[in-house]
Amino acid sequence: MSAISVGQAAILGVVEGVTEFLPVSSTGHLKITEGLMNIPVDDQSVVGFSAVIQVGAIAAVLVYFFKDIKRIISAWGRGLVNKEERYHHDYKFAWWVIAATVPIVLVGLAAKPLIDGALGSLWVVGGSLIVGSGVMWAADQMGRHKRGEDDTSFKDAMLVGCSQILALLFPGFSRSGATMSTALILDLDRVAATRLSFFLGIPALTGAGIYELKDALGAGVGAAPLAVGTIVSFVVAYASIAWLLKFVAKHSFNAFVIYRIVIGLALFGLLATGTINA
d(CA 10, CA 51) in angstroms, rounded, equals 15
Q: How confident is the model over 188-216, as pLDDT tens digits? A: 999 999 999 999 988 888 887 777 776 66
d(CA 163, CA 153) in angstroms, rounded, equals 16
Give the pLDDT band (50/70/90) at residue 73: very high
Residue 122, pLDDT above cutoff 90: no
Any idea of the CA torsion for 259, 263, 264, 270, to the nearest 10 degrees? 170
- What lies within 8 Å, CB to CB, of 12 at 6+ separation is 4, 30, 33, 34, 49, 50, 53, 229
d(CA 94, CA 85) in angstroms, rounded, equals 13
Over range 2-20, report the average pLDDT: 90
Residue 49, pLDDT above cutoff 90: no
Q: What is the pLDDT of residue 27?
A: 80
Q: What is the pLDDT of residue 117?
A: 72
Q: What is the pLDDT of residue 67?
A: 94
Q: What is the pLDDT of residue 205?
A: 80
Main-chain dihedrals φ then ψ at residue 48, nearest 5 degrees:
-65, -45
Q: What is the pLDDT of residue 247?
A: 94
Closest CA to 201 of 15, 10, 23, 14: 23
Q: What is the pLDDT of residue 228?
A: 93
Q: What is the pLDDT of residue 220?
A: 62
User: Whole-model pTM?
Assistant: 0.85
Over range 124-147, report the average pLDDT: 92
Q: Is 157 helix (H, G, I), strand (E, B) or coil?
A: helix
Q: What is the pLDDT of residue 2?
A: 62
Residue 259, pLDDT above cutoff 60: yes
Q: What is the pLDDT of residue 40?
A: 75
Instruction: Out of 92-96, 106-110, 116-120, give the one with best mean pLDDT.
Output: 92-96
More confident residue, 211 or 268: 268
CB 53 within 8 Å of CB 196: no
Residue 219, pLDDT above cutoff 60: no
Give the pLDDT band (50/70/90) at residue 217: low
Handedness of CA 204, 205, 207, 208 (dihedral sign): positive
Over range 233-249, report the average pLDDT: 95
Main-chain dihedrals φ then ψ at residue 161, nearest 5 degrees:
-65, -45
Closest CA to 43 of 147, 105, 117, 95: 117
Q: What is the pLDDT of residue 218?
A: 59
Q: How confident is the model over 160-185, as pLDDT tens digits? A: 999 999 988 888 888 899 999 999 99
CB 166 within 8 Å of CB 63: no
Residue 47, pLDDT above cutoff 90: no
CB 27 within 8 Å of CB 242: no
d(CA 175, CA 163) in angstroms, rounded, equals 8
Over range 75-103, report the average pLDDT: 93
Residue type, 167: A
Residue type, 25: S
